[in-house]
Amino acid sequence: MLRKLAAELFGTFVLVFGGCGSAVLAAGFPELGVGFIGVALACGLAVLTMIYAVGHISGGHFNPAVTIGLWAGGRFRAAEIIPYIISQVIGGILAAAVLYVIASGQAGFDATASDFAANGFGEHSPGGFSLQSAIVAEVVLTAIFLIVIIGATDKRAPVGFAPLAIGLALTVIHLISIPVTNTSINPARSTASAIFQGTWALEQLWLFWVMPIIGGIIGGVLYRLLLTEKE
């Protein structure tokens, strides 16, 4: 179990550091900024590489909504949910702390005045999308993500390609939802950014726990009921 939790902590660290780091440090950089596409690719590549690196140890969740969704889909033990989530949240916070130290080296940086890659809705949505839009996006996209994860790791799926499918799915999800909520679908990632943003992001953090978890459960249950091969 200790190795599993260490793998989850490390994988979540890299996912948050890669995704949020590209958003905070590189997305808006003058002339050479990576933009939405670069941030989406950074998130997808981070989860892809971490699943290959440590997924064989812990299963490569790196996300409380994925852990709960896999339990709902019959792929994970209930007794391990809480330890996994704690490790994921700690990994995300550590990544955000390192990112904060790096970003603070730039003159004029202020995490509170910026969004620090935090997730938001309404006036804090990158595209000005409403609470309703944020709820629908987070639930639907997390459900889709869980169906991809469970399907790609199904015994009937081609062996060895699951990380590619999962990483590419996360990239597509970011391309869709960065303008809506700055893309959460991961409560650990949202918590990490919100802590260092420190104001409105903490007030809106509830949505980015509740909706991804609901979406994860929906995705897990749908796959279990409709797509799992009966013995």
| Integer Cα distance of 163 and 145 in angstroms | 12
Average pLDDT over residues 103-111: 90
- CA triplet 111, 206, 153: central angle to 5 degrees? 100
Question: How many CA within 13 A on the CB side of residue 109?
Answer: 15
Task: List pLDDT tens digits, range 160-176.
Answer: 999 999 999 999 999 99
Token output for 212: 């991804």
- Provide the pLDDT for residue 34: 87
- Domain 1-224 in CATH 1.20.1080.10? The answer is yes
Average pLDDT over residues 182-203: 97
- Provide the pLDDT for residue 116: 95
> Please, what is the average pLDDT of the chain?
95
Average pLDDT over residues 14-19: 97
All structural domains of the chain with their residue ranges: 1-224
Share of the chain above pLDDT 70, in %: 99
Task: List pLDDT tens digits, range 112-157.
Answer: 888 899 999 999 999 999 999 999 999 999 999 999 999 999 999 9
The reported pTM is 0.95
Angle between helices 2-21 and 81-103 (to 10 degrees): 40
- Provide the pLDDT for residue 112: 86
Task: List pLDDT tens digits, range 50-97.
Answer: 999 999 999 999 999 999 999 999 999 999 999 999 999 999 999 999
- Provide the pLDDT for residue 231: 61
| Integer Cα distance of 41 and 3 in angstroms | 28
- Provide the pLDDT for residue 191: 98
| Integer Cα distance of 56 and 60 in angstroms | 7
